[in-house]
Chains A and B, each alone.
Chain A
Amino acid sequence: GAVVSQHPSRVICKSGTSVKIECRSLDFQATTMFWYRQFPKKSLMLMATSNEGSKATYEQGVEKDKFLINHASLTLSTLTVTSAHPEDSSFYICSAQTALQETQYFGPGTRLLVL
Chain B
Amino acid sequence: AQSVTQPDIHITVSEGASLELRCNYSYGATPYLFWYVQSPGQGLQLLLKYFSGDTLVQGIKGFEAEFKRSQSSFNLRKPSVHWSDAAEYFCAVGGYGNKLVFGAGTILRVKS
Contacts and interface: CB of A to CB of B under 8 A. Distances in A.
Interface of A: 2, 4, 6, 32, 34, 42-44, 46, 49, 91, 93, 95, 101-109, 111
B90 A106 contact: no
Nearest to B104: A43
A109 B96 contact: no
Interface residues of B, number: 21
A44 B103 CA distance: 9
- Residue of A34, A44, A46, A91 with most chain B CB atoms under a 10 A cut-off: A44
B61 to A, nearest CB: 16
B102 A103 contact: no
Interface stretch (B12-20, B22-30, B39-47, B68-76): B39-47
Contact of A105 (B46, B51, B96, B103): B46
A42 B104 CA distance: 7
Interface string B45-71: 110010100000000000000000000
B90 A44 contact: yes
B46 A93 contact: no
Interface string B28-42: 000010101000011
A46 B99 contact: yes
A109 B51 contact: no
A104 B51 contact: no
A44 B46 contact: no
Nearest to A2: B46
Contacts of A44: 44, 90, 102
Nearest to B94: A104
A43 B105 contact: yes
Contacts of B105: 43
A101 B104 contact: no
B35 to A, nearest CB: 12
Contacts of A102: 32, 49, 51, 96
A106 B36 contact: yes
B104 A107 contact: no
B99 A107 contact: no
A86 B46 CA distance: 31
25 contacts: A4-B43, A6-B43, A32-B97, A34-B99, A43-B90, A43-B105, A44-B44, A44-B90, A44-B102, A46-B100, A95-B44, A101-B96, A102-B32, A102-B49, A102-B96, A103-B34, A103-B46, A103-B49, A104-B34, A104-B94, A105-B46, A106-B44, A106-B45, A109-B41, A111-B41
